[in-house]
Amino acid sequence: DFLFFWGAVFLITTTLVALLKKENKELTPTKEETKGITDTYKLLFSIIKMPAVLTFCLLILTAKVGFSAADAVTGLKLVEEGVPKEHLALLVVPMVPLQIILPLIISKYTAGPQPLNTFYKAMPFRLLFGLEFAFLVWWTPKVKHEGGFPVYYYIVVLLSYALHQITLYSMYVAIMAFNAKVSDPLIGGTYMTLLNTVSNLGGNWPSTVALWLVDPLTVKECAGAQNQTCGTAVAAEV
């Protein structure tokens, strides 16, 4: 029902925009840099070949490696330790207003000549939250009791997630502001799309690798089976 409702809203609003909204021809740039798909990709390759863009892409593709495990695995490990999925899902609700307000606040600090300063300042704090999340996963089974988890546990989890969101959005808004600042206005859409795609990829590939490495890096012990390791899925099955 939830997906159906928002799907309908999305279709209706998009259709209304298509039918009712007209282009402002006075603001349309007279110089068109690209004529079609082929020209666009040629332009993208010429942008990527620029030394500054290559360096920036290399930095942004590797900058989020340190956060990958904490971002991708923490929630799964909490569920594995017995925290109900629906309780974790409910904790997302208070995050929504925070996620709306944070970009408005952070944008004041990223509007200047050096938006990446906010990115740099937030990075060590976000790395520290990786350690804090590891402690949270370790602490979870110790506070569990027959009735579930105490209220103070959920308060700690909520505060941890909220503070983590501040560091996450500080980096996210800063990188968006930087991409907007350095993009050539004549090809702004193409330029920004390229940089934002690289930025998204820089966050997604480390998370994928972190999830893939969970099993090989997890230490497992077999109960009731001597001289038997459970390091692999096949061994655990045996």
Residues 106-148: tens digit of each pLDDT? 988 888 888 899 999 999 999 999 999 999 999 999 998 887 8
Residue 229 lies in a domain: no
Structure confidence at residue 37 (pLDDT) = 78
Structure confidence at residue 33 (pLDDT) = 57
Residue 201 lies in a domain: yes
Residue 118 lies in a domain: yes
Q: How far apart are CA 124 and CA 118, in angstroms?
A: 11
Residue 22 lies in a domain: no
Domain residues for the domain of 151 are: 38-215
Phi/psi at 89 (nearest 5 deg)? Answer: -65, -40
Residue 225 lies in a domain: no
Counting as low any pLDDT under 70, the low residues of the chain are 26-35, 188, 231
Residue 63 lies in a domain: yes
Residue 24 lies in a domain: no
Helices vs. strands in the chain: H and E counts, helices first: 10, 0
Residue 110 lies in a domain: yes
Q: Number of structural domains, the chain?
A: 1
Phi/psi at 154 (nearest 5 deg)? Answer: -65, -30
- The one-letter amino acid code at 129 reads F
Structure confidence at residue 29 (pLDDT) = 56
